[in-house]
Structure 1
Amino acid sequence: MPTVCCSTGYTASFVLQEADGPIMRMPFSLLALFRCAGYSLSRFRVPRFLNDSCRVAVTGAVLALLTACTALPDVGSRPIEFAPTETEASCLTQRLIEVYGEDRVLASGPAESGFLLLKEGPDALEARLTLARKAEYSLDVQAFELLDQTSSRVLLAHLLEAADRGVQVRLLVDDWGNDYPSAWLASLATHDNIEVRIFNPFPLRPAWRLNYLTHFARVHRRMHNKAFVADNQVGIIGGRNTGDAYYEASPERIFLDLDVLTLGSVTRDISGAFDLYWNHQLASEASRVSLGRYGTSLNTIREEFASGLPEQRTSWQWDDGDFIWAPATLYVDDPGKILRPAGDITGHLMPRLLSEITPTQHEALFVTPYFVPGEEGTDILLDLIDRGIEIDLLTNSLAANNMPIVHSGYAPYRRELLEAGIRLWEVQPTPWSLYEDANDEPWQSVLTEQVTLHAKVWVFDRERVFIGSVNMDPRSFEHNTEIGLLIESPELAAQILDWMEPMKNRLAWRVVLEENGDKLWVEEPDVDSPGSEATAIANYDPDSSWWQRFRIGLYTLLPIEFLL
């Protein structure tokens, strides 16, 4: 049944609480070294050679800098906003009713919802653009990363066109992954039908890295949610951020990812989750973040969008897909998670989601780009093995990982997991162009220098699927906010397994233990070549340099696992 699992505890105003926690995932920094060594800003000392008056002045200036830069922008007494509920008259809704029936499309509460898996990047982008073109009432877009790249500009151009038609557009973007200056976003929001809010904004701009010296307990914790909702009727959630690599449009790297398009009751749940974040005190208007500055004019933005953008294909149609109708539950973190002290699990989705693993009886598949199980997560997986449950786990290899430091939180647990009988697969960085001759494979026409896994999906007993933004690491479990859907559908589970099997066969190494206990990376036999055998590749992380492996070895010695 489509129900929302989150801690509401939500009122029109919120109390800002101090939090304590590690820094966010980012290139390993001096701050992280200081933190690990036990240093803090309380150890700051003014040089002794300064006289007393100078020392007082310098100390006062430093304290003023540090304290003045930690406050959130004042959101004032703004009204609470919600997605429109009366959208049945739109052409989009009427077409959905014509195809799937009013009982399904307009259902609310406990009812089955419709799902369509978006496996290929171009389809995932075109689905969003199509919904933007067809929307008549509202478009709500929630993004962790909004990169200044072609796909993002195309999407923003479609949002602007929708606003020109009278569609109410709300764009909520996390500040860490946002390439666009707040003043530019404030200019976009001068449109009468566009609102832009920045979630958990950095106080110091544009030198945002300095925020980790002033208030990293808050700023390292980010809104990792990704959602797209049109007319409160059709939604998209999954792992994709907004940038070329996520839509297979980058020549340097593409991310192998999954989204799911939703119809019916669960879409209203996604809208409700968006409203929860939109109305939170951490969501500040772009104009407040920019301190009233505007980076350009709306006319200039229109001119930029009107020139230099490629034509988009129009072959994708939302009603051409064969939707799967099934019960579902939306899991979403309470946005107040970011403000609460570390260790306070109030409003966290993970304790409730982990309880869904318990009914598993036969097998489980976990697909995650960043895998940092820790002792607790390892114990959970080993307990499943002790119950006779078979586990396959697909993650990135060191060479394919776009966040190599995360590998230091995975590598120390690899042997224990293998000894327990867990089957580990690691995605290769192999260019997909090598598989251009493959038949009916999603990557057959893609040219890129490197591929990286980015999908986040779990499958239990080939009957239930969890798909969303959640990585299997402390950052998702404890620090960032996340969202995802648990869908009870053997048919959808079969589609995901069919998507994954050729990837394991062609784009991943399997990690095994030899008789002497050494780890061995192998390529499994080609399913298209009967009689072929597994090929041994290496006894160390393949396609990685000695310097990469040396750095990972150093990182494993540092107490940084809780940062990853």
Structure 2
Amino acid sequence: MAVALLALSLSACAGLSRVERERATAIVLAARPAQVDCDQPNACAQPSPLRELAARALAESTPEAPRHYALILDHGPDALLARINLIRSATTAIDLQTYIYDEDDAGKLVLDELLAAARRGVRVRLLLDQLAALRRIETLAALSGAHANFEVRLYNPVLRRARITYPQYLLAAACCWRRLNQRMHTKLLLVDGAVGITGGRNYQDDYYDWDDEYNFRDRDLLVAGPIAQVMDEDFVRFWEDRRSVPVERLKDVGGQVLRSGVPALPPTQFERPQRAEAMRRDAGDFERVRERLASQALLVDGVRYIADSPDKHRGDGSGGAPASDSLRGLIESAQTEVLLQTPYLVLSDSAQDLFRQLRKRPQPPRVIVSTNSLAATDAFIAYALSYKYKRRYLREFGFDIYEYKPFPADAPIDIAATGAVLPDLGLPGLPEPDPELLRAQRPDRASVVSRTQYRSPLSREYAAMRYARRRSNEPVPLKRAGVRIGMHAKSMVIDERIGVVGTHNFDPRGDHYNTEGAVVIEDPAFARELAASIRRDIAPENSWVIARRDKPPVFSGLEYSLAKISEHLPLFDLWPVRYATSYEFVPGPDCPRPLYRNQPGFRACYRPVGDFPEVSIGPKRLITRIFTAFGAGLAPIL
């Protein structure tokens, strides 16, 4: 067995030889067609009101006073529409950098548009993180030779492969744990160095309201103007880094090319072709894009792009990581309020120290946190760690925590676009559900440790953990069926004067392992608009409030002390009663509007709904307790 394991290790770690890499590269270069479909100087670019924003901003800018237009993309279909419209408007270059790129309808649609841009004469560069790149080796091999204007690279490919199997993942974890966790979480789409999009969205159906089971409530920011050139320079640093490897030079992709040549890309087949065609049609409608998107853009001042570089993944990770430091500096500057939105409330030690110091001020700013509930999250283990430290977050840091509901009643989600047959969730504008279909639906009682309707977490945000345990990061079972919504936006507002939209989850992974980026805009009008978007998410119809549970009639001090001691233990945190629980707002004559948890009258206007509202009783409670008790050691990589 030892000999067999050694042989497996050696074969897994061995990549292509130098000669093989050169042969594979030569085959790919020879296979790439160079002809273009357009002979016009602008590469037959489609007129775009979004691209015109960049032209206006650049025309109005001076070196001393740059001008920018910013557009918050809250709705998933709008975010996809903006991407396709911008890709069609490109005249010279498109750079796309992302963490997840799936081969579903949204991914295929964008990929088709990128290839079409390359064929009309636009240089296209696609940079993907290895652990969440395209599923099929055949697709990567085909793309490697698709066109002379099109190139794909993978960032930090462990074991010199594009894809790794479960045994190979275990081997990589044993030999190269730190490198395995060093991921490129930066997300950018840049067109002609003039307009860019960054934020939480990857390239997968559930980021654009196109999944019929689970979709993310996410947020992107489109910014047009000189800062896009800074963003593009950051992309080039990644593209030219030695960790970014052309796919044909990797063992599995290059091996296929050496054996069989460059395969042809098969014709695109959509799961829901009518929806894809409608999106294509809308992306070509100048007036529709202007009305839905461009007309909503704000002229803003004080735009910065802060981003980690690949240097973050050299040495101990202390270099090349300005994103976390910059965000901490913004929080320290707060005077009255920090409005923070993150899907995974797991704080690093340095972040916890920051909020402790903030709390010690004579007049500390209010810290409002919008995050996921257990019922909404796609990262079960991350929530378990958040659950463990609720007392600390509420009592020591003074957080006002709002946990997103799985079926929010007023979310910027296009439920109709998912194509799912739904029960009545109380959402406006939807047709009445079919009674026969409702009777046929069963409660969603599948467990995270058994078969479930939700697809594998390989494509979710925590793709680096995807092999750790099958289905460990999937949504938990609920008491009722429906299209579930999970929070995925990463944003912050300081004193309604500074707004931040980016990729950082404000977590230990973002501090130490992932590369991150964010746009910071010091403009009160923009900050107010972003704050209004987040406040909508924490409204009673969309979120539960986390607050101290009612004290027991006897021994309340003893119970609190024992729970606090147990919380500080890295292992064996088995105390069954937590400091806080979830509350639902109950409006009435004496409760006309929502209250903060520490305001008079809170307990008269809110009713407790339990630690895990909407979650189906079953193995989840035991598993949550287990990770709460024994999972603290996982916090640095969550």
Normalising by structure 1, report the TM-score.
Answer: 0.79
User: Residue 127 and residue 543 in structure 1: after superposition, are their counterparts in 2 closer, same or farther (change >3 A)?
Assistant: same
Counterpart in 1 of 2:248? 287
Aligned match of 2:383 in 402, 407, 411? 407
Aligned match of 1:131 in 86, 95, 99? 86
Aligned match of 1:192 in 141, 148, 173? 148
Aligned residues: 492
User: Residue 262 and residue 188 in structure 1: after superposition, are their counterparts in 2 closer, same or farther (change >3 A)?
Assistant: same
Counterpart in 2 of 1:560? 634
CA distance in 2, matches of 1:126, 1:526: 38
Matches for 1:304-323 after TM superposition, within 5 Å: 304=269, 308=273, 309-312=276-279, 313-314=282-283, 315-317=288-290, 319-323=294-298
- Report how far residue 547 of structure 1 moved: 2.2
After superposition, what is the alpha-carbon deviation per residue over 1:42-67, rounded to whole angstroms, capped at 9, x for unaligned?
xxx94xxxxxxxxxx55763563465
After superposition, what is the alpha-carbon deviation per residue over 1:505-550, rounded to whole angstroms, capped at 9, x for unaligned?
2110001114517423112355999737734242322223352232
Counterpart in 2 of 1:273? 234
Counterpart in 2 of 1:234? 195
Letter in 2 for 1:507: N
Contact 2:513–2:637 (8 Å) recurs in 1: no
Aligned match of 2:623 in 551, 554, 558? 551
User: Residue 197 and residue 523 in structure 1: after superposition, are their counterparts in 2 closer, same or farther (change >3 A)?
Assistant: same
CA distance in 2, matches of 1:151, 1:196: 18
Normalising by structure 2, report the TM-score.
Answer: 0.70
**SS, match of residue 289 in structure 2:** coil
Matches for 1:5-16 after TM superposition, within 5 Å: none
User: Residue 110 and residue 276 in structure 1: after superposition, are their counterparts in 2 closer, same or farther (change >3 A)?
Assistant: farther
CA distance in 2, matches of 1:306, 1:553: 39
**SS, match of residue 260 in structure 1:** strand
Counterpart in 1 of 2:394? 418
Aligned residues: percent identity? Answer: 25
Counterpart in 2 of 1:522? 583
- Report how far residue 148 of structure 1 moved: 1.3
- Report how far residue 503 of structure 1 moved: 2.2
Counterpart in 2 of 1:336? 311
Counterpart in 2 of 1:493? 527
CA distance in 1, matches of 2:240, 2:542: 42
- Report how far residue 306 of structure 1 moved: 13
User: Residue 390 and residue 305 in structure 1: after superposition, are their counterparts in 2 closer, same or farther (change >3 A)?
Assistant: closer
Aligned match of 1:539 in 576, 599, 610? 610
Counterpart in 2 of 1:68? 14
Contact 1:75–1:285 (8 Å) recurs in 2: no
User: Residue 146 and residue 526 in structure 1: after superposition, are their counterparts in 2 closer, same or farther (change >3 A)?
Assistant: farther
**SS, match of residue 311 in structure 1:** helix
**SS, match of residue 293 in structure 1:** helix
Counterpart in 2 of 1:429? 406
Letter in 1 for 2:60: D
**SS, match of residue 99 in structure 2:** strand
Counterpart in 1 of 2:439? none
CA distance in 2, matches of 1:350, 1:236: 20
| Structure 2 unmatched ranges of 5 or more | 26-40, 410-423, 431-480, 552-559, 561-578, 594-603
CA distance in 2, matches of 1:108, 1:435: 51
After superposition, what is the alpha-carbon deviation per residue over 1:241-278, rounded to whole angstroms, capped at 9, x for unaligned?
11111011111011011111011111111101111111
User: Residue 71 and residue 485 in structure 1: after superposition, are their counterparts in 2 closer, same or farther (change >3 A)?
Assistant: farther
CA distance in 2, matches of 1:242, 1:527: 43
Letter in 2 for 1:266: I
- Report how far residue 233 of structure 1 moved: 0.8
Counterpart in 2 of 1:14? none
1:510 aligns with 2:545: yes
1:326 aligns with 2:301: yes
Contact 1:196–1:286 (8 Å) recurs in 2: yes
CA distance in 1, matches of 2:270, 2:589: 46
Contact 1:88–1:94 (8 Å) recurs in 2: no
Contact 2:97–2:126 (8 Å) recurs in 1: yes
Contact 1:258–1:456 (8 Å) recurs in 2: yes
Identify which range, 127-136 or 381-390, moves more after superposition. Answer: 381-390
Letter in 2 for 1:131: L
Identify which range, 298-307 or 349-358, moves more after superposition. Answer: 298-307
1:390 aligns with 2:366: yes
Identify which range, 371-380 or 281-290, moves more after superposition. Answer: 371-380
Counterpart in 1 of 2:342? 368
Counterpart in 1 of 2:204? 243
Contact 2:94–2:122 (8 Å) recurs in 1: yes
Identify which range, 94-103 or 398-407, moves more after superposition. Answer: 94-103
The Cα RMSD (Å) is 3.4
**SS, match of residue 130 in structure 2:** strand
CA distance in 1, matches of 2:19, 2:605: 58
Counterpart in 2 of 1:453? 487
Contact 2:408–2:542 (8 Å) recurs in 1: no
Contact 2:197–2:221 (8 Å) recurs in 1: yes
Contact 1:369–1:454 (8 Å) recurs in 2: yes
CA distance in 2, matches of 1:132, 1:528: 52
- Report how far residue 479 of structure 1 moved: 0.5
- Report how far residue 334 of structure 1 moved: 1.5
Aligned match of 1:217 in 168, 178, 183? 178
